[in-house]
Chain A
C-alpha cells in the first residue's frame, strides 16, 4: 500500500500529493510534515520488526489472520467514523446500530421471520435489510445533527442508548443461536487464504479513500469540516452532506454487525458492538485524521487500528496481562493527539 498515492486524503499540501514540478517552499518544513504524516506508518513498521525479533511464531499466516480478523469490524465502523469526524462530527451510536443489524439478521437468513423460498434469497434479505435499517437509523442521526443543529455527541448519544434497547426488545433479550454456514461465510470463509471479512474490510477502506479523493461528495465533506460557513456560502449543501455521512456510518455499522454474528454463530443484542465506538474513534485518532474536521485519511484509520491491535498482541504474546495492554492503548491515543497538536502549531 503506497502512501503516496492513496493514503493521505488531506485537503491539500501533503508531501505525497505535490505534483512533481511544484518545488516545496521550505524543504525542512515539508520533511518534518511528511515525517509526522508518515508517523503512523513508521510506528506500524517498527512494531512489526519488533515482533519479528521477539515474538515467537509471528511471521505466520495464522498470526496475520488472527490480527486482521480482530480489527475487521473496528475498521469497517472506523471508515464511517472517519467520514463523520472529517465533517467535524462524531458518531457514538455505531455499536448500538451494529446490535440492531445483528439482531435483525437471523430472522431473515434462517427464514424464521420471512421465507423468500430459497436459501440464498433469504441470505440476501438477511444482509440487505439489516444494513438498510442501520442506514436509516444513521439518517435519523444525520437529521438531528443537520436539521436541528444538535451537537453530534448528544444527537448520536440518543441512539447509543436507545439503539441497543431496540435490538433487545426485538429479540426479547434472548440469545439467537444459529447454524448458517452459507451466511457465515462472510466472516469465516477464506479467499486466497485470507478471511473473507478482511476482504470486505479492504473494499470498504479502498472505496472510502477513493470516494474522499475523487468524488464531489468527498471534497464537499472535507470542505464542510474545514470551514462550514465558507462551505455553505460556496453553495455546498451542508445539511445534505452531513446527513449522508451519518447514513454511511450507519451502513458501515450494519455490515460490521453482520460480521460479528457470523463469527459467533449467535446474535446477542446485549453484546454485539459493545464499546466499538471508542475503539473506532481511537483508530481514527491514531491514524492521523484531524478530530476537528477538514482532514481525513481512511487508510490511516486502518493503520491506526493495526497499531492498536499489534501493541496489544505484542504485550499479550509476551506475557503481559490484558489489563496492562489497555494502558498501552491509552498511551498511544495520547501520543497521537499530541502529534496532531504539534502539526497545528
Chain B
C-alpha cells in the first residue's frame, strides 16, 4: 500500500506555440512524502505544476492520482478533488476575515441560503488549532504576517481534504523564523499522511524538510533521488546539466579573454542590503573588465543590480562610483552618472512595444538629443542608423515597431539604447536569455568588445559557461551575501557551483 504512488505523472509533453516546455517529463509522489521539485528558470517545473492543477492542459502523457486517471479542468476543481496549490503570492483575499477566506467558495449556508457564521467560525478555529495556530479568525487575513497567511492557505487546502499539497516557492517571502513555522506545518501534514510537492531554490531548505528530490532541466525529468543520496554539489550539477567529471571542456560561448589589463575602479559596492533578499553584497568593477555576478535563482543578483542602478531603494551599505559615494533614488540619476542597465525581463522592463526601433533606442538619450525640449530628428536618425549598422540590428526600417523584432534584435536595440549614451558602466542582467544561438554569440562578442574599449561591465548570468568564459572576475552570491570571488584563472564550473551551493561568507 505504502509503495503505491499517490501521484504518478508520466511522459508529459507540453508545447507553448513552437517552444516545448515539457518533454516526456515524469513525477511520482508517495503518500505522506515531501518531494522537492527543482530546476532552473524555464526547466519546466512551473509548467509541470500547472498541468497537475489544471491551469494548463498537457499535450500527451498520463496522470494517475490515487490510482485513478486524473484530469482537472482548473485549480479550483483540482482543489476539490484533493490537490491544492499554495502559490508564492498568496491568492486569498487580504481584506476579508480568516473565516471567510477559509470558506471562500463553499460557504456553509442554512436552508434559506443565509450564511451560518457561528458554525464556520468555530470550524475555522478548530482547523487552525490542529496546526497550532491560535489567532482571531474574525480579523482580516491581511492583518497577519505572510507566514500566518500561508498557514491559513495551507489550512484551507487541508480542509478541502487535500491529499497532496503543492508549495510553489512558499518560503521566498518568509524570514527564518517563519520558515521554521512552515516546516513544522509540513511535518504535521506528513504525519497526517498528506504528501507535499515542495518547490524552492534554497538548497538548505530542501535538505531540512524533503524526503526525495526530482530535478528538471529543459522540460525533462533528469534525476529522481532520495535527498540523502545526493549532496548539494551533485544537485547543482544536475540542475545545471553539468557532468562533474568533464567540467573542463572546450569553450561554449563566444567570449574571449580580455585583451588588456583593467583600468581604474569604476564601481565599488560594499555591504549592500536590499529588502529581504540581499543582506550583505560586496563587489567592484574596473574599467575594461567584465565582472560576473553568479548565484542561484533567489540569491539576490537582480536585486543587487537594481539597487546599484537606483531602481530599488537600498537598505544599507555603500555604493561608490569612481571613488565617490553615491545615492541614486531613481534610475534617472544613475543614468546621468554614466550607468546603464539591461533588465532580464525585456518585455516587461525593456522595450516599449508600440514604439519604433528608433524611439526605443534613443529613449534614454532624448534629453541629450534635444535643444530646448525639441528632439533633433536629424541627429536622432543619424545615431540610430549608425548603431543599426554597427551592431547589426535586423529591422525593415528604424520606424518598425520593436515588438515585431526577434528577441536577439530587441536586445541589441536595448544595448544600443545604452551605448549611444557613452556609459562608463553597463549592467547586464541575463543578457542572452531567450535569444537564439547566433544572436547570442553576437551579443557575447559585443560585450567583450565594449569592455576592451574601456567600458566597465557587470554581468549577471545563470549560464555558468557564460560566467566562466566571459568574466574576468566573478563574485558569487548565496542567499543575499557575497560568498566568493574568483579570478579568471580560478573560476571553473566546479568551483562556481561549489560556491553557489555551499559557499559561506569569508
Are B355 and A234 closer than 8 Å at their CB atoms? no
A335 within 8 A of B: no
Contact segment of B73-81, B93-101, B161-169, B345-353: B345-353
A294 within 8 A of B: yes
Instruction: Please pick, from B335, B355, B377, B401, the residue contacting A223 in the complex, using a CB distance under 8 A.
Output: B355
Q: Evaluate whether A11 and B359 lie within 8 angstroms (CB atoms) in the complex, with A217-B373, A219-B375, A230-B348 already known.
A: yes
Are A25 and B396 closer than 8 Å at their CB atoms? yes
Contact segment of A16-24, A110-118, A165-173: A16-24
Chain B residues near A18: list those with CB within 8 A: 397, 399
In this complex, the interface size class of chain B, counting residues with CB under 8 Å from chain A, is 35 or more
A235 within 8 A of B: yes
Chain B residues near A222: list those with CB within 8 A: 352, 355
Q: Evaluate whether A234 and B417 lie within 8 angstroms (CB atoms) in the complex, with A12-B359, A219-B366 already known.
A: yes
Of A10, A215, A223, A227, the most chain B CB neighbours within 10 A belong to A227
Of A13, A25, A220, A295, the most chain B CB neighbours within 10 A belong to A13
Closest to B370 in A: A216
Closest to A215 in B: B373
Q: Evaluate whether A10 and B354 lie within 8 angstroms (CB atoms) in the complex, with A220-B366, A233-B343, A235-B364 already known.
A: yes
Are A236 and B363 closer than 8 Å at their CB atoms? yes
Q: Evaluate whether A11 and B352 lie within 8 angstroms (CB atoms) in the complex, with A219-B366, A232-B331, A237-B332 already known.
A: yes
Are A227 and B351 closer than 8 Å at their CB atoms? yes
Instruction: Please pick, from A19, A216, A230, the residue contacting B373 in the complex, using a CB distance under 8 A.
Output: A216
Instruction: Please pick, from A10, A17, A22, A230, the residue contacting B396 in the complex, using a CB distance under 8 A.
Output: A22
Instruction: Please pick, from B349, B370, B417, the residue contacting A215 in the complex, using a CB distance under 8 A.
Output: B370
Are B400 and A13 closer than 8 Å at their CB atoms? yes
Contact digits for A223-267, partner B, Cβ 8 Å, 1 yes 0 no? 100110111111111000000000000000000000000000000
B404 within 8 A of A: yes
Q: Evaluate whether A25 and B363 lie within 8 angstroms (CB atoms) in the complex, with A215-B375, A219-B375, A223-B355 already known.
A: no
Are A295 and B354 closer than 8 Å at their CB atoms? yes
Chain B residues near A10: list those with CB within 8 A: 354
Chain B binding site: helix, strand, loop or mixed by DSSP?
A: mixed
B306 CB to nearest A CB, Å: 9
A214 within 8 A of B: yes
- A10 CA to B350 CA, complexed, in Å: 19
Are A226 and B355 closer than 8 Å at their CB atoms? yes
Contact digits for B415-446, partner A, Cβ 8 Å, 1 yes 0 no? 00100000000000000000000000000000
B330 within 8 A of A: yes
Instruction: Please pick, from B343, B348, B364, B399, the residue contacting A12 in the complex, using a CB distance under 8 A.
Output: B399
B374 within 8 A of A: yes
Chain A residues near B373: list those with CB within 8 A: 215-217
Instruction: Please pick, from A11, A229, A232, A233, the residue contacting B356 in the complex, using a CB distance under 8 A.
Output: A11
Are A13 and B375 closer than 8 Å at their CB atoms? no
Contact digits for A1-13, partner B, Cβ 8 Å, 1 yes 0 no? 0000000001111
- A22 CA to B395 CA, complexed, in Å: 10
Are A235 and B370 closer than 8 Å at their CB atoms? no
Contact digits for B296-312, partner A, Cβ 8 Å, 1 yes 0 no? 00000000000001010
Are A294 and B352 closer than 8 Å at their CB atoms? yes
Chain A residues near B336: list those with CB within 8 A: 235
Are B399 and A230 closer than 8 Å at their CB atoms? no
Chain B residues near A21: list those with CB within 8 A: 397
Which residues of B from 360 to 377 have beta carbons under 8 Å from A? 363-364, 366-367, 369-370, 373-375, 377
Chain B residues near A217: list those with CB within 8 A: 373
Chain A residues near B377: list those with CB within 8 A: 214
B373 CB to nearest A CB, Å: 5
Are A231 and B396 closer than 8 Å at their CB atoms? no
B198 within 8 A of A: no
Are B354 and A17 closer than 8 Å at their CB atoms? no
Instruction: Please pick, from A12, A25, A215, A235, the residue contacting B355 in the complex, using a CB distance under 8 A.
Output: A12
Chain A residues near B475: list those with CB within 8 A: none
Contact digits for A284-328, partner B, Cβ 8 Å, 1 yes 0 no? 000000000011000000000000000000000000000000000
Of B330, B341, B404, the most chain A CB neighbours within 10 A belong to B330
A133 CB to nearest B CB, Å: 25
Closest to A217 in B: B373
Chain B residues near A216: list those with CB within 8 A: 366-367, 369-370, 373-375
Are B352 and A227 closer than 8 Å at their CB atoms? yes
- A55 CA to B201 CA, complexed, in Å: 73
Which residues of B from 269 to 328 have beta carbons under 8 Å from A? 309, 311
Chain A residues near B401: list those with CB within 8 A: 11-13
Closest to B369 in A: A216
Chain A residues near B355: list those with CB within 8 A: 11-12, 222-223, 226
Chain B residues near A220: list those with CB within 8 A: 363, 366
B150 CB to nearest A CB, Å: 26
Instruction: Please pick, from B335, B349, B369, B404, the residue contacting A230 in the complex, using a CB distance under 8 A.
Output: B349
- A227 CA to B375 CA, complexed, in Å: 21
- A19 CA to B355 CA, complexed, in Å: 15
Closest to B333 in A: A235
B399 CB to nearest A CB, Å: 6
- A17 CA to B354 CA, complexed, in Å: 14
Of B332, B336, B350, B373, the most chain A CB neighbours within 10 A belong to B332
Chain A residues near B335: list those with CB within 8 A: 234-235
- A222 CA to B309 CA, complexed, in Å: 23
Q: Evaluate whether A13 and B354 lie within 8 angstroms (CB atoms) in the complex, with A19-B399, A22-B399, A215-B373 already known.
A: yes
Are B354 and A233 closer than 8 Å at their CB atoms? no
Instruction: Please pick, from B356, B363, B370, the residue contacting A234 in the complex, using a CB distance under 8 A.
Output: B363
- A12 CA to B402 CA, complexed, in Å: 9
Closest to A239 in B: B330
Are A22 and B351 closer than 8 Å at their CB atoms? no
Chain A residues near B352: list those with CB within 8 A: 11, 222-223, 226-227, 230-231, 294
A198 CB to nearest B CB, Å: 27
Chain B residues near A229: list those with CB within 8 A: 348-349
A231 CB to nearest B CB, Å: 7
- A10 CA to B352 CA, complexed, in Å: 12
Chain B residues near A295: list those with CB within 8 A: 354
Are A12 and B331 closer than 8 Å at their CB atoms? no
Which residues of A from 200 to 227 have beta carbons under 8 Å from B? 214-217, 219-220, 222-223, 226-227
Instruction: Please pick, from A219, A232, A237, the residue contacting B311 in the complex, using a CB distance under 8 A.
Output: A232
Chain A residues near B400: list those with CB within 8 A: 12-13, 22, 25
Chain B residues near A231: list those with CB within 8 A: 352, 363
- A215 CA to B364 CA, complexed, in Å: 14
Chain B residues near A214: list those with CB within 8 A: 374-375, 377
- A90 CA to B369 CA, complexed, in Å: 30
Chain B residues near A223: list those with CB within 8 A: 352, 355, 359, 363
- A232 CA to B341 CA, complexed, in Å: 11
Chain A residues near B399: list those with CB within 8 A: 12-13, 17-19, 22
Known pairs A230-B352, A233-B331. 4 more at Cβ < 8 A?
Answer: A11-B352, A22-B400, A226-B353, A234-B417
Give me the interface of B with A, judged by CB distance under 8 Å.
309, 311, 330-332, 335-336, 341, 343, 348-356, 359, 363-364, 366-367, 369-370, 373-375, 377, 396-397, 399-402, 404, 417
Which 4 pairs, one residue from A and one from B, show the smallest C-beta to C-beta distance?
A12-B356, A22-B397, A235-B335, A226-B352
- 9 residue pairs of the A-B complex, CB under 8 angstroms, read A11-B359, A12-B399, A13-B356, A13-B401, A17-B399, A216-B366, A226-B355, A235-B331, A235-B364
